[in-house]
Amino acid sequence: MIAIIKYNAGNIRSVQNAVNRLGYESIITDNPTKIKAASKVIFPGVGEASSAMEYLKERKLDELIVSLKQPVLGICLGLQLMCTSSEEGNTTCLGIFDTQTKQFPPKDKVPHMGWNNFSELKSSEILKDVKLEDDVYYVHGYYAEPCENTLAICNYIVSFSSIIQKDNFYAMQFHPEKSADVGEQLLKNFLNL
């Protein structure tokens, strides 16, 4: 069973639909017992960092997420909340990835919205059958700075972490559930870990 963490963020149902299309059973839950028992955990979201972290802390989901041992995938806001901090609301985050989430400088259209490819791509099982020129779909006004755990970089105004991985924690700034065949491949790679 795949657990999709329910918290104060949007876009969770479309992630569940994508997982179900790939033939996996999933539940949307904030129940710690069900999350711990899941074979994989997905931490998606669209929203605002400080209110999302507040919701996680109220339910002790912040402590639960960092303690998980099975593969965990953060998507969009999920990736940002897995970093040490966010400029959005001056928020202390989960600290899984040793990097900060910053606001894009207003040198182009913000939020970064639409299709973009990778400028760098490291070798990883999560990136099986994914290429530099593959486009994925982004919607974000904040970005995680590249760090030692960055697997893929995208350029828009600045270079930022598109995919990050540390131990059993994986995260994607873009929306794999909205990224056509490439996104489906990336979700499949995660679900097959």
Active site (catalytic) residues: 76, 175, 177
SS (H, E, C) the chain: CEEEECCCCECHHHHHHHHHHCCCCEEEECCHHHHHHCCEEEECCECCHHHHHHHHHHCCHHHHHHHCCCCEEEECHHHHHCEEEECCCCEECCCCEEEEEEECCCCCCCCEEEEECCCEECCCHHHCCCCCCCCEEEEECEEECCCCCEEEEEEECEEEEEEEEECCEEEECCCHHHCHHHHHHHHHHHHCC
